[in-house]
Amino acid sequence: MIYGIGIDLVKIARMKEVVQKWGRKFLERVFTKEEISYCYEKKNPYLSLAVRFAAKEALIKAIGSAIPVSYTDIEVINVEAGRPILKVNGKLEDFFKENSIKRTHLSLSHEHEYGVACVVLEQ
């Protein structure tokens, strides 16, 4: 059964502006160390940062803002084949257990100016 669905769109240039303005302070408040490392291994880290931010926002929308969530409690990782998956920690992990959310589905995409993420939560 579907618990929730969320989608979010992020302008890549906006992500670049925010990172250039706030630097590590912003990055460490929003992304895990592993996410930051992964993104900065890419030719254009702002693409990867934008879709990861969109994924975090989409997950928050999918849970219906039921609890306050720290962005760093949501992590986007890539499995061996390159497919992105969501890993949750902290209060969010407890929320998933309490609400019997057993699977997350994540799709990421970007095209020139925008990055988009869609999240489906399954019980």
Which residues are catalytically annotated?
A: 61, 110
Contact 7, 117 (CB under 8 A): yes
Half-sphere exposure of 55 (CA within 13 A, CB side): 28
Residue with tokens 């975090």: 56
Name 22's Cβ contacts closer than 8 Å, sequence gap at least 6: none
Query: Which H or E run contains 21?
Result: helix 12-30
C-alpha 8/C-alpha 61 separation (Å) is 8
